[in-house]
Amino acid sequence: MKLRSLFRSVLKYRKTNLSLLLLITYSIIAILYVFDHQYYKLNLPKQDEQPEFNELLETAWTDLQIITASFHPYTSRENDKVHDYLLERVLKIARNASFASVSDDSNTKRSILFQQKDAFNAFSDVSRVTYFESSNILVKLEGKKPDEQGLLLSAHFDSVPTGRGATDDGMGVASLLANLEYHIKHRPDRTLIFNFNNNEEFGLLGASAYFDHPWSSLTKYVINLEGTGAGGKAVLFRTTDTSTAKIYQQSVKENPFGNSIYQQGFYSTYVRSETDYKIYEENGMRGWDIAFYKPRNIYHTMKDSIQYTSKASLWHMLHTSLQLSSYIVSNSLDTEDQTPACFFDLVGLKFFVMSAKTLFYWNCVFLLISPIVAISLYLISCDRMTWKSHSWLSWMRFPLSLVFGIVVQKLFSNIIIHYNCLTFSRNYFWPISAFFTIVVLADYILINCLNRFSPCTDMKSLSIIELFIMLWAILLFTSKRLYTSNYRYTGLYPFSILFVLTTLAAMLRLLTLALRPKAGKRHDGELVDRHSRYSSHSQINVEEGNHGTIQQFQNQLLSSQDEEESTHEDNASTTLAAPSLHVNDGQVSDSEPPQHDERAPLLKGSSDMETSSKPEYIDYAWILQFLVIVPIASFILFSSVDAVMDAVNQTVQEGSKATFDIIKFGMVGSILIALPILPFFYKVNYMTISLTVLLFLISISKTLLEPSFTNNNPLKVRFSQNIDLVHGNGANVHVLGREGDLLKPMLEDLPSIKFNSIPINCTSVTNGMELCTYDGIEPNLLTTDGETDISNMLKVHILHDNRNSTDRSPYEPIVAELLLEVKENRACTLLFNSESHAKSPVREITVYQDKSSDSQHSNSSKSIKIASGVDELQLHKLDFDRQAYHIGVQWFPKILTDGDLEDDNLDTKDELTVSISCYWGEYDSDSVVNGTAVRKIPAFDELLNYSPLSFSFTNEQKGLVIVKDVVSL
- Alpha-carbon gap, residue 909 to 692, rounded angstroms: 74
Considering all CA atoms of the chain, what is the largest pairwise distance in Å, rounded to the nearest integer? 132
Nearest one of 86, 84, 94, 130 to 111, comparing CA atoms: 130
CA distance 762 to 733: 12
Query: Cβ distance 205 to 271 under 8 Å?
Result: no
CB atoms within 10 A of CB 952: 23
Catalytic residue among 78, 133, 142, 200: 200
Residue 600 DSSP one-character state: S
Bridge partner residues of 235 (DSSP) = 291
- Angle between helix axes 356-383 and 459-484 (nearest 10 degrees) is 150
Residues of the chain by 3-state class (helix, strand, coil), percent to 5: 45, 20, 35
Secondary structure, 3-state, 509-543: HHHHHHHCCCCEEEECCEEEECCCCCCCCCCCCCC
Q: Is residue 522 exposed (0-12), middle (13-18) or buried (19+ Cβ within 10 Å)?
A: exposed
CA distance 323 to 251: 6
Q: How far is CA 853 from the centre of its chain?
A: 51
Q: Are 136 and 209 in contact (CB under 8 A)?
A: yes
* Positions of E strands within 688-730: 715-724
Counting every residue written for the chain, the total comes to 969
585: left (phi over 0), alpha (psi -120 to 50) or beta: left
What whole-number distance in Å separates Cα of residue 495 and Cα of residue 762?
45
Q: Measured between alpha carbons, how far is 932 from 600 in angstroms, rounded to an integer?
A: 103
Q: CA 465, CA 397: separation in Å to the nearest integer?
A: 12
In DSSP terms, which residues pair with 817 in a beta bridge? 800, 888
Count each helix (H run) and each strand (E run) in the chain, helices first.
26, 31
Q: φ and ψ at 816, to 5 degrees? A: -145, 155
Distance CA 708, CA 193 (A): 45
Q: Give SS3 for 699.
A: helix
DSSP characters over 45-104? PPTTT-HHHHHHHHHHHHHHHHHTTS---TTSHHHHHHHHHHHHHHHHHHTT-TTEEEEE
Peptide bond into 295 cis (omega under 30): yes
Give the N- to C-terminal CA distance of the chain in Å, as an integer: 102
Whole-angstrom distance, CA of residue 743 vs CA of residue 731: 19
343-365 as b/e, with b when 16 or more CB fall inside 10 Å? bbbebbeebebbbbbebbeebee
Quote the CA–CA distance of 154 and 175 in Å, as a whole number: 10
Distance (Å, rounded) from C-alpha 499 to C-alpha 516?
Answer: 26
286 three-state secondary structure: strand
Distance between CA atoms of residues 790 and 766, nearest Å: 31
Burial of 402 (0-12, 13-18, 19+ CB in 10 A): buried
Active site residue 200: yes
> Please, which residues bridge with residue 155 across strands?
196
Surface-to-core class of residue 896, CB atoms within 10 Å of its CB (0-12 exposed, 13-18 middle, 19+ buried): middle
Nearest to 199 by CA among 884, 954, 877: 877
Q: Which of 173, 185, 174 is nearest to 99 (CA)?
A: 185
Catalytic residues: 200
